[in-house]
Structure 1
Amino acid sequence: MAKKKILIRIGSLRHGGAEKVLVTFLNNLPREKYEIDLLLNLYSGKYLGEVPVFVNVLYLNKGEMITTNRTQDLPRKVYRKVYQAFLKKFPKVLYKSILNGKQYDIEFAAIHGMRDDILNSPLKSSKKIVWIHNDLRKTHFHNYNDAEIRKFFGFDKIVVISEHIKNDFEKLARNDFERQKILRIYNPLDTEKVIASAGKPLEIAKSNVPTFVAIGTVFPQKGFDRLLRVQRRLLDEGFSFNVKIIGDGYDFEKIKKLKEDLNLGDYAEMTGFSNDPYPHLKAANFFVLSSRYEGFPTVLSEAVTLKKNIIATDVSGAREILENGNLGLIVENSEEGLYEGLKKAMQDHEIFLEYQQNLNNHVLPFSLENSVREIMDIIDGL
């Protein structure tokens, strides 16, 4: 049987949840079954080295993301934007040049931001899939209204990662045909790898105070700014604890400056990106998810896998993962909610003993194998 030809599009392979999930998915596909081209807008990112060798990586531009407006960077930044806009407006040029006129069976938008790029493909016979990782109504760059979300029904299949997002799409579906396009599939999570990695030795300074660890790309969605402000407030009230933020992103220097402005000193640490954050997660007393919005936060599933004490804002996916608060403390999605949650963590030890008991008896309702198989079933069925 001939291999199915698949085009997958994503912006880059930076250190984000959707990028990590995509690479995990690709590494668990049978290489003999599919012929995959992965087209990046920008050939950069921490996960480039993890793309399996059978995947052909193509790109529009090469180099690191330019997040500043420094004079010396502007020509390259403008060129990239103009070039990408040109190829988006004239997709036939892209398909004839970079993609060498290849005919694909499946075209796959690995993130919602590639919606128009895939829907405007000149290949009218290809089947089209989109993978939505965020609550579209709360994204930082573009809050989608009903009309914008309706455009996703142009895809043959809409893969969403939480019940919250699925329910939102189902409310906008106009008939059973559209409702059948929507499929909730949990993100592929390699729990065995998480557990094995967490067991690696980690040299950390001993501390007599609890440590709260937060993990994610450093940009506004993750709410690290409000986490640090809450820490300052609690320190001023006499509580003593450390916060460790593991991650990098275009807001890194801004959050680092906030840490300095708040005079948090050694009580707060920003480690930058880590390929292997799991030893840090395992060593911490608490995991805190301070996000303003999510789709289905993979890192929260990882914290459950490692049976950590958890405080999480009430974002999409949190109630599914934490079983409506049986496995961890879900707080109001606000700075005040985080304040109350961290304070409770240091005052109410009994409730966290109860969470630990529930975690020890908990079996994750999803698996790497099931998630990969479900997505393969979609591809094979189109």
Structure 2
Amino acid sequence: MSEHKMFRLGVVVNPFAGIGGALALKGSDGADIREKALAQGAEKKANQKMQLALSKLTELSSSLEVVTAAGEMGETVCQELGFNYRVVFQSEQAQTEGEDSEKAALAMVEEGVDLLLFAGGDGTARNIYHSVAGRVPVLGVPAGCKIHSGVYAVTPAGAGEIAAKMVRGELVSEQDGEVRDIDESAFREGKVRAKHYGEMRVPHDLVYLQSVKMGGKESEELVLLDIAAHIAEWMDEHADTCFVMGSGSTVAAVMDELGLKNTLLGVDIVKNKTVVANDVTAAELLSLTANQSTQLVITAIGGQGHLFGRGNQQLSPEFIKKIGKQNILVVATKQKLEQLNGRPLRLDTSDPELDNLLAGSFSVITGYHDRVLYPAI
């Protein structure tokens, strides 16, 4: 895409992932298993898997800012492929453990990565989940003995292809990927005991839901109904939260479906699916949401895709800082995003520091339980 901030990619490799597979050790968890595998001549192949993924990004290196962990936890493969990278974590032990993956992932989240790409198996997915949960999109490069979790691409190359689409600014769907792991000790005795640990945000190839397609394209009316249904359900799940409804036709369609009075070119406040105030000023917005759980529903305004700074100056920097990026729900149809022709969403809050904090990938609600990742600058 022509206009884009540098895409910040986090790279984490569990160098021991999959080491017990070829030797029929039923996994790689535990220092004793890893020592046994190495003693029997097992090869560490996780970095080879990550190399297959990252090779899909070499032609995009000028658009990438890579942050990684030292040595075999990511630095080695980044160096081999010629990426410009920065090490943000160094393990204190020669044989890395799960806690090192957790610390490395946390360091990368704090660096504001747009995507965390990690190589490992289900144990590594659990480690990443402990540090990341839903804070940033993640994508697993399959390298372990056990791949039960839904956070992995089908192949290492597939992971690289999806990451490349994100770097290029193409539309990429987002889904909640399940993190699961089995009890390896029980597995070695022939028993499969899988446990659900949580979910993480995972990018995958763009999907148009069949329910909103007509002649192979989105039906705008049906899509808006799907978006409204998603927001309505979200409001039910977040009772007593103040929802600030921004301007624009997409948000207006949501309000109309909820049967609520809407200010097309203004900002309204809704709580428990009831209008608290219509067409509020910046000062009123701060006052009415003070000391309350608050989320913002907003869409892109104008031909340049502005999220802030065009027709919604009531959303002051003070208000946006107060609620934080995690409480901003962006809604738009995929057609609307595609009409931007690859241009990123625009941030113009009148506070350059805030714009920089908000920059990066937004999870855009594009239908009922349907989301895409889209960049904003």
Q: What TM-score, normalized to structure 1?
A: 0.28
TM-score, normalising length: structure 2: 0.29
The structure richer in strand per residue is 2
Q: Which has the higher helix share?
A: 1
